[in-house]
Amino acid sequence: MMKVRFDSGPIQEVSWGRFVINGQEHAKLPDGTIIGAGKDIRLIGDEVTPWKERRGHRLTASMITGVFGRDIEVLIIGNGFYGALEVPESVIEFIKKNGIEEVVVLKTPDACRRYNELYGQGVRVALLAHGTC
């Protein structure tokens, strides 16, 4: 399975169902064991938390949690390794109406790369990332 490593930023590596952020592993193992925040993560600055609200492969407004009221300029949504997580325009509009001016939707490896870039530029950025399909 594809493993992507990054030279700079808090996200050091991403592979199927697994993130390494600031030296800490976050994954769901094949036997179901959860390590750290698991395979779906929320990242704000250096703070990693589980993104437990994501269900299925169509994002809804109720699944966008933990990012509002945090003074975030850009929300990046990692929609899976193959882009299987559908992000309707209505959800992007909901995010913008709730105070986050820019929303970027990318496949998870690209989303991680973009997060690291913006983080390095001092942008107040958050990431909601689906770690598998």
Q: What is the pLDDT of residues 13-22, one digit of tens each?
A: 999 999 999 9
Taking the model in full, what pTM does it have?
Answer: 0.97
CATH number at residue 54: 3.40.1230.10
Domain contains 13: no
Nearest CA to 105 among 93, 87, 84, 131? Answer: 87
Full domain range(s) for residue 68: 39-130
Domain contains 1: no
User: What is the reported pLDDT for 1?
Assistant: 65
The DSSP annotation for 93-120 comes to HHHHHTT--EEEEE-HHHHHHHHHHHHH
Q: How many domains does the chain fold into?
A: 1
In this prediction, the residues of the chain whose per-residue pLDDT falls under 50 are none
